[in-house]
Chains A and B, each alone.
Chain A
Amino acid sequence: MGSRLVKKLIQIPICRGLSEPEAAEVFEVAEETSLKKGERLFREGEMGDALYVVLEGQIEVSKSDRQGRPQTLAKLGDGSVLGEMSLVCGDAARSASAHALTDAKLLKIPSARFSKLLRNDSVAALKIVHNLAQVMSRRLLLMDEKLLDAMEKGKRREELAEFQRILSDWSF
């Protein structure tokens, strides 16, 4: 791995606090992949065995709703991480799909690599896990707010129907 790439990697959020040698250790086996605009990176439901760092370009993450229509969850740019759940959950199915909105370059890190580093008490891996936990906490906070909004919306609909029911109960 070139030192220019390592220098770039330690700037991204999940690598916060990593020294250059630590980053080099983690990304030793990382593979660079590139996607053409519109090309799929992974599909919801596939087994996930790697984490990706976006080096260039834009990736859209989407998930099918109950009617099977894709709903955009996020658009990720340079320095973003995706597939991080595979890192934490081992070989779990992908919870969402990802495809390239533009030509893109990504770095792929196999989950197995992390598991091995963690088993060997790698400080670098622990730092990354800590950073990932922060990223996921922030996403969870956003989700909580979205959930509240959705609950409120659901309630408003119920409220009007409930009011109608009350009025007919009182038989006017």
Chain B
Amino acid sequence: MVPQPDSASPLGGAKVTRDPLSRGYFGLMNAAEAANHYFRKAARIMDVGERIETLLATPLREVKVQVSIELDSGEIRTFIGYRIQHDNSRGPMKGGLRYHPLVDQEDMVGQAALMTWKTAVVNVPYGGSKGGITCDPTAMSLKEVERLTRKFVDQIQDVIGPTRDIPAPDVNTNPQVMAWIMDQYSKYHGHSPAVVTGKPVDLYGSRGREAATGRGLLYVCREVLRDVGLPVKGARFAIQGFGNVGSHTARLVHEDGGRVVAVSDVHGGTKNASGLDVPALFEHVKRTGTVKDFPGGAACTNEELLAADCEVLVPAALGGALTARNAPDVKARILLEGANAPVDPEADEVLEKRGVLVVPDILANAGGVTVSYFEWVQNLQHLTWDEERVNAELEKVMKEAYERVATISRSRKLPLRTAAYVLAIGRVGKATVLRGI
């Protein structure tokens, strides 16, 4: 029972604001820039040299296609779709597909690279890619979105595939869109459920996929807390964002005995120093569509949430939530990046100086792509795993990834983020060298 954000989108997924200058999307755009910054920082610490850096940063292939459809009105509209494939040295490429008015090629390139590093950190045998269509699905009917999706598949079916590049849901795309992609691709290539992940559980999707990012976050959090000598039981959590990542994280942390002392969404927040009653909060969200005005807590702004008295802060809403301006107010000891790039590079330096342990996005929120990998594995083997198995395998992957990152961080005296990029560059670099240039 996951609360669905109220949305004008026919897909019922994450809400797209009609304002193209909305901060939310720029947050996402910054994710690409921030990832590029952190990649270069790690590459320079490793001293790989300018030409190796360029080799690793340059995308393998950038596909830009026309996606023309007939709207319900009979009007013909032409959209532009992209699929950017960054690196395939470690395996077929993997990355989300987003429908948004501000999708552009440069941003996609950065996002595709981010996927290369993320899949490398958790050691799933994938490279990185990303794609999207520049469109506003909130202004389209479901039928129009379906035609758009199928037409896009017609245009890129020769560059994607179970052993080439496997799309997944992203901003404004959901399991239904993935089902259409599977169906359309299968018309060209025969029955191919493994061409996309994030499919509905009733159509070759994996159990546990929906909660995977939140669950992965929890598994990493347990390891971090163990390392700093804090039990999860009784630890205080503040969670910004109550969408797919934030809501599952709150539920799982609560089940684990942690105290969720503050949560917020776009409408506002709620706090309770002795711990919110999370199941009651879910009921409230189901009824009202927001965590705001929850009777079991006091009102709390997003800024107050980021400065909340707690052990673990989980920004799981927007990119760029923490900047040089508000980072000095953070009281948490540990910051778990649920969203992509919620901490901008300036804030990252502030937090490092203040001794806040930042667990980076490419490690912390990699549970999603990990279970996507499990979905693909199940599809290729024509079998299904029960949720216990999915969760157990996820735990293994997340623990192992954290352990490797923490070891590099300790031995080289590097922040976890830089250590994660070092590990990713190492794995991609090794595959590249072994395969030959």
Contacts and interface: CB of A to CB of B under 8 A. Distances in A.
Interface of A: 156, 159-160, 162-164, 166-167, 170, 172
A163 to B, nearest CB: 5
B433 A170 contact: no
B433 A172 contact: no
A167 B49 contact: no
Given A163-B429, A163-B433, A164-B433, A170 B52 contact: no
Given A163-B433, A166-B48, 8 more contacts: A159-B49, A163-B49, A163-B52, A163-B429, A166-B46, A166-B47, A170-B412, A172-B427
A164 B429 CA distance: 8
15 contacts: A159-B49, A159-B51, A160-B433, A163-B48, A163-B429, A163-B433, A166-B47, A166-B48, A167-B430, A170-B46, A170-B408, A170-B412, A170-B422, A172-B423, A172-B426
A143 to B, nearest CB: 25
Nearest to A169: B46
Nearest to A168: B430
A31 B251 CA distance: 102
A163 B53 CA distance: 10
Contacts of A172: 423, 426-427, 430
B394 to A, nearest CB: 23
A67 B411 CA distance: 47
Contacts of B51: 156, 159
B437 interface: yes
B433 A167 contact: yes
Nearest to A170: B426
A162 B49 contact: yes
A166 B44 CA distance: 12
A40 B395 CA distance: 78
A160 B430 CA distance: 11
Contacts of B46: 166, 170
Interface residues of B, number: 16
Contacts, number: 29
Interface of B: 46-49, 51-52, 408, 412, 422-423, 426-427, 429-430, 433, 437
A167 B49 CA distance: 12
A159 B52 contact: yes
A1 to B, nearest CB: 58
A163 B49 CA distance: 8
Contacts of A170: 46, 408, 412, 422, 426
Nearest to A164: B433
B364 to A, nearest CB: 21
A10 B242 CA distance: 90
Nearest to B404: A172
Contacts of B48: 163, 166
Contacts of A166: 46-48
B249 to A, nearest CB: 30
Nearest to B429: A167
Nearest to B424: A172
B84 to A, nearest CB: 24
B57 to A, nearest CB: 14
A12 B412 CA distance: 68
A172 B48 CA distance: 15
Contacts of A167: 426, 429-430, 433
Nearest to A155: B51
A152 to B, nearest CB: 10
Contacts of B426: 167, 170, 172
A90 to B, nearest CB: 46
A164 to B, nearest CB: 5
A170 B426 CA distance: 8
A158 to B, nearest CB: 10
A157 to B, nearest CB: 11
A146 B427 CA distance: 36
Nearest to B434: A164
B98 to A, nearest CB: 32
Given A167-B426, A167-B429, A172-B427, A160 B47 contact: no
Nearest to B408: A170
Contacts of B422: 170
A159 to B, nearest CB: 6
Contacts of B427: 172
A172 B425 CA distance: 10
Q: Which of A156, A160, A162 has the most chain B CB within a 10 Å cutoff?
A: A160
A142 B429 CA distance: 37
A160 B51 CA distance: 10
A84 to B, nearest CB: 39
Contacts of A163: 48-49, 52, 429, 433
Of all A-B residue pairs in the complex, the 3 with the closest CB atoms, nearest first, are: A172-B426, A163-B52, A167-B429
Q: Which of A156, A166, A170 has the most chain B CB within a 10 Å cutoff?
A: A170
